[in-house]
Copies of this chain bind each other. A is one copy, B any other.
């Protein structure tokens, strides 16, 4: 998605340890117009799938997921990283390790929001090592729901997440695919690389 790649080139910051900081349009400050365009692109990519629900993780997944839900006309459920007082029973849970933050979080969703009838699209901001997506897949499996695909805003193709999903035969669509960071610059996968 050209508009997103341009934004990453213009506003993304490459930090040590292969971390791309996009906190001025996605992870902390959010560009709503760009999120709307991202939602439209996910609709274009997944319009042929019979999706009934979108699943994401708080907090950075919420904006792109809600725009995708707006376009695909389905509800969005965000997994919580911490249990709250009013949501303590009847949860599906999974443990997710964050390589960036070096901590494990439990993620959970209420069982009432995911059923065996659901055909689920996972949306998340980043795909790197694939831990968050794997956690969401565990939850979908626990609910006996069906995974229709995974939509990612920014993928780092050189980390293991994509391989894990491909090995499981999961349709994964990423709007920007980064193959390397060179001299602090982002190098995207070119059409000719595919």
Contact = CB atoms under 8 A, between A and B. Distances in A.
Given A23-B110, A58-B59, A28 B66 contact: no
Interface in A57-96: 58-59, 62-63, 66-67, 69-70, 73-78, 80, 84-87
A35 B78 contact: no
Interface residues of A, number: 40
Nearest to A64: B66
Contact of A28 (B30, B31, B87): B87
Nearest to A85: B101
A191 B64 CA distance: 36
Interface of A: 15, 19, 21, 23-25, 28-33, 35-36, 58-59, 62-63, 66-67, 69-70, 73-78, 80, 84-87, 100-102, 109-110, 112-113
